[in-house]
Amino acid sequence: MALIASFITQGLQMLLVLALAPLLVGFTRKVKARLLRRRGPSIIQPYRDLLRLIRKEAVIAENASWLFRVSPYLIFAATWVAAALVPTFATNLQFSWTADLIVITALLGSARFMLALAGMDVGTSFGGIGSSREIMFASIAEPAMLLVVFTLALVAGSTQLSAIADFMVSHASLRVSLGLALAALIIVALAENSRIPVDNPATHLELTMVHEAMVLEYSGRHLAVIEFAAALKLLLYVSLIACLFAPWGIALTGNAVSAYVVGALSYVGKLAVGGLLLALFETSIAKMRVFRVPDFIGIALMLGLLGVLLLFVSGSF
């Protein structure tokens, strides 16, 4: 019985992240528009966009290879699996022991690997520009992310997300190294999701674009899948920050059904706060030049290193 319930929660989570991901994007866009005194598109516009895209025919460049057609599905699958393994409304799901935080980071790395290759597949200059810049950003953001993971793992004594979340719920306290890790994680999240100031998710035909340049040749259902994966990734990072640094309300193992309801409600609330803060941040800051971005992500690397160093040197924590 417990096993079945646990399978059901895991399944629910997989569907929940799918259902909420476009909503988060729509919500963020709406808030941004309102902040700019525009009316903005409806909050469910991303769903309509996805539907429209999958109804259209896919136009593929003449010299695109099989890799170009397979990549979107692999990117989507890797991101979905990663997103499904991050605790959202409950910890210790059925399969949470499959992968720890390092694996989730690496799964996103796999998705990026495929995306960067897909960008180079057609052999256009835009694809190349996007891929080469994406791998440069990643080469700084990924170590920064791993240093954040190290910090959390050293504090909580585990790299398992559920264990870390449980620890944060039971041993809540203020720590300098955790503050550094949070700042670093936010910077990494901005960079990984191609948000301002690293990249602009709303631009097209701009020389500084990165993510859009890689997916320039995609259309129809392939584009829909990639857009969906991007939305999932944003959701993943917001859930990650929420479950690591604001784990309040999350349902623990063996809790009653009501706890799960509370968990789900608080999760939606946290997503809304995350989207709101993201929109606020993005409207208050300008996009950077590409070669200033390494310095910006470099801060995350530095903060992560500082956090780990603090924990290593002063064994007091």
**Site residues (CB under 8 A) for another protein, limited to 44-73:** 54-63, 65-67, 73
Torsional class of 37: left (φ above 0), alpha (ψ -120 to 50), beta (otherwise):
left
The only residue of 23, 31, 100, 199 in contact with another protein, by rule CB under 8 A = 100
Buried/exposed 4-35: b ≥16 CB within 10 Å, e otherwise: eebeebbebbbebbbebbbbbbbbbbbbbeee
The only residue of 49, 217, 227, 282 in contact with another protein, by rule CB under 8 A = 217
The only residue of 23, 107, 185, 234 in contact with another protein, by rule CB under 8 A = 107
CB of 126 to another protein, least distance (A): 6
The only residue of 13, 28, 88, 160 in contact with another protein, by rule CB under 8 A = 160
| Binding range to another protein, per CB under 8 A, among 40-48, 167-175, 236-244, 277-285 | 167-175
The only residue of 12, 35, 169, 175 in contact with another protein, by rule CB under 8 A = 175
Residue type, 22: P
Residue 31 or 186: the one with the smaller Cβ distance to another protein is 186
The rounded distance, in Å, linking the Cα atoms of 214 and 198 is 15
CB of 257 to another protein, least distance (A): 26
| Binding range to another protein, per CB under 8 A, among 1-9, 127-135, 249-257, 259-267 | 127-135
Residue 31 or 155: the one with the smaller Cβ distance to another protein is 155
Residue carrying structure tokens 């190290």: 150
CB of 97 to another protein, least distance (A): 5
Q: Which of 234, 215, 239 is closest to 226 using CA atoms? A: 215
User: Is residue 74 close enough to count as binding another protein by CB under 8 A?
Assistant: yes
User: Is residue 276 close enough to count as binding another protein by CB under 8 A?
Assistant: no
Return the bridge partners of 251, or none: 90
User: Is residue 133 close enough to count as binding another protein by CB under 8 A?
Assistant: yes
132 contacts 112 by C-beta, under 8 angstroms: no
| Binding range to another protein, per CB under 8 A, among 34-42, 241-249, 276-284, 306-314 | 306-314
| Binding range to another protein, per CB under 8 A, among 105-113, 186-194, 243-251, 277-285 | 105-113
CB of 246 to another protein, least distance (A): 16
Q: What is the DSSP string of 216-232?
A: TT--HHHHHHHHHHHHH
236 contacts 86 by C-beta, under 8 angstroms: yes
| Binding range to another protein, per CB under 8 A, among 37-45, 141-149, 194-202, 261-269 | 141-149
User: Is residue 170 close enough to count as binding another protein by CB under 8 A?
Assistant: no
User: Is residue 135 close enough to count as binding another protein by CB under 8 A?
Assistant: yes
The rounded distance, in Å, linking the Cα atoms of 314 and 184 is 20
252 contacts 166 by C-beta, under 8 angstroms: yes
| CB contact set of 304 (below 8 Å; sequence gap of 6+) | 143, 144, 145, 146, 147, 148, 150, 151, 180, 181, 184
